[in-house]
Structure 1
Amino acid sequence: MADSDKQHVTLISSTIIYSVLILLVLFRSTPGYTQSSTTISGFIKNDILNEEERKWLNAHDGKIKLAPAPDWEPMEFFDENGEYQGMVADYIRLIEKKLKVKFKIVRIETWEKILVLAKTRKIDVLSAAQATAERKRFMNWSTPYLDLKTTIIVEKSQKKTFTLDQMKGMKIGVPAEYAVGKFIRDNYPELTLIDVLNGSEGMHKVSFGELDAMIMEVPNALHVIENEKITNLRLAGDTGFELNLGLGTRKDWPILAQIIEKSLASISKKEHKDIYAKWIRL
């Protein structure tokens, strides 16, 4: 090949390489392009997280401690094999799938102890709880993803419909440290509230006449009545208080709050409906 031809080929090759480099630079500077849309260096195609969030989450995969409420069927509970189950558990698994991460599920005996551990940052995530003023002091809170009405349960011989302002003088059970108890104490200080371990314990106490009424979430109440065959109780009124449940994350990890919020925003209406239909039968 003549020297002039070689020079011509070299010039063409250099021009092509230069053009490719220019295109790559332009592509990477295009608005909306992030490295998290690739599969390079641990990033995920079509990731809902940005690069900083993905790096943080990858570094904490399997280490983020989440403590479910231990006896809150059908919302969340541990079955006879110690497996985490329930409506909230299905949401947590869906969030894990969307984030491509695993939480470390920690089993704690009581809700009261869970809150103590969350305050001292020995627990990183609360899976489903009301963002009260007190809880906001030590945790960040997501947008609520579950809304639950609370109801008044009485023995069937009580025929009337109840509201909270009609219950003075009655012994009323509420699960210890639940948001509905704080609501009633703040707004109806004249009422006599008695803390119980959980809804099941409280409803059995009503059934045997140890309490006059129990206040709890509608799905939990229906589940206990059906599955524990408590045939002498009925739902007798609405408290007017609705639980708006979100995920709580430790205050010193604001990036985790951002990540959780993005995962919840990515849940479709169909996914919400499918989980609800699986666990709630009215």
Structure 2
Amino acid sequence: MRINITALLVCAAALFTAQAPASQDISLSPDETQWLALHNNIRLGSDSAWPPMDYRDENGAPSGMCAEYFRYAAEKLGMEIIIGPDRGWAETLNSLKEKELDAITCLAKNDTRSEFITYSSIVTDIPQVIITNDEYPYISGLRDLSGKRVAMVEGYATASILMERYPQLDPIIVNTPLDALKAVATGQADAFVGVLAVSVHLIQNKNLANLKVAAPAELPPLELRFGFRKDWPQMAALFSKAMATMTPQEHTAIAQHWVSVKYNPVIDYSL
């Protein structure tokens, strides 16, 4: 039995041409208006190694789908964004913990982070998959990787989930998703579990031609939220309120502007 899985990145310009209706105006209470007036700029950090979801452009500014969602909400609230330094993901999280940053463009919620982060409502969710070398034998899911070397990115929510739920995996800790994919491509790891859109983007743009999307990860979709310093629950609520004004058409336009992934597992019973 063989499973053929195709993943295709398509530019949204070819997919979305309809004019989206205008979003709703945001209505703030007097208390919200007063709080916002006292906190009208925000120091923003991001993950620079997670394209096309989150990365830094040639000028060092946060870019990608997450950054566009964040800018949408900030503009709705009339806020000024101050771009924080690019320090790598683990250090960016620590900067938010130490209140050197006020917010992070997007991240998944977990217990460890919740000790120092307050979250917005869910902005978007994205599927996770298993990446292997082209020559790696057929696998149907994580249970087939017992005892195998699996690349995991330090500080990522997926790494924490895998180590907690699948202790039989042999973790290979790396700094970025690209490092993880290179480890698989060069045989230093047997597999990488990551976000489909990011993995396919990096495989295509970094010429990692010997890698494939091998199977679904059998994990829930990664739910992404804006993250704020723990003592700013008001800001998290305001950004949630701003995002609630976004129309479905606007959501689609932003998502398809950055990535559209078609993921079609097809089982071939002829072998």
TM-score tier after normalising by the smaller chain length: 0.7 to 0.9
Q: What residue is the counterpart of 1:49 in the other structure?
A: 28
Q: What residue is the counterpart of 1:14 in the other structure?
A: none
Q: Partner amino acid for 1:124?
A: D
Between Structure 1 and Structure 2, whose CA radius of gyration is higher? 1
Q: What residue is the counterpart of 2:239 in the other structure?
A: 260
Indicate yes or no: 2:154 matched with 1:188.
Answer: no
Q: What residue is the counterpart of 2:206 in the other structure?
A: 228
Contact 1:156 1:233 in 2 (8 A): yes
Using CA pairs below 8 Å that are at least 6 residues apart, which structure has the higher relative contact order? 2
Q: What residue is the counterpart of 1:271 in the other structure?
A: 250
Contact 2:61 2:83 in 1 (8 A): no
Q: Partner amino acid for 1:73?
A: P
Q: Partner amino acid for 1:55?
A: Q
- Bigger Cα displacement from structure 2, 272-281 vs 47-56: 47-56
**Which residue of 203, 210, 213 corresponds with 2:191?**
213
Q: What are the within-5 Å matches in structure 2 for residues 106-121 of structure 1?
A: 106-121=84-99
Give 4+ residue runs of structure 1 displaced > 6 Å after superposition. Answer: none
- TM-score computed with the length of structure 2 as normaliser: 0.83
Q: Secondary structure at the match of 2:127?
A: strand
Q: Secondary structure at the match of 1:145?
A: strand
Alignment RMSD: 1.4
1:47 shift after superposition:
4.3
1:79 shift after superposition:
1.8
- TM-score computed with the length of structure 1 as normaliser: 0.80
More helix by share: 1
Q: Secondary structure at the match of 2:155?
A: coil
Cα distance in 1 for residues equivalent to 2:233 and 2:132: 43
1:205 shift after superposition:
1.5
- Matched pairs, number: 236
Contact 2:154 2:173 in 1 (8 A): yes
Indicate yes or no: 2:85 matched with 1:104.
Answer: no
Q: What are the within-5 Å matches in structure 2 for residues 117-196 of structure 1?
A: 117-196=95-174
Q: What residue is the counterpart of 2:17 in the other structure?
A: none
- Bigger Cα displacement from structure 2, 217-226 vs 158-167: 158-167
Q: Secondary structure at the match of 1:174?
A: strand
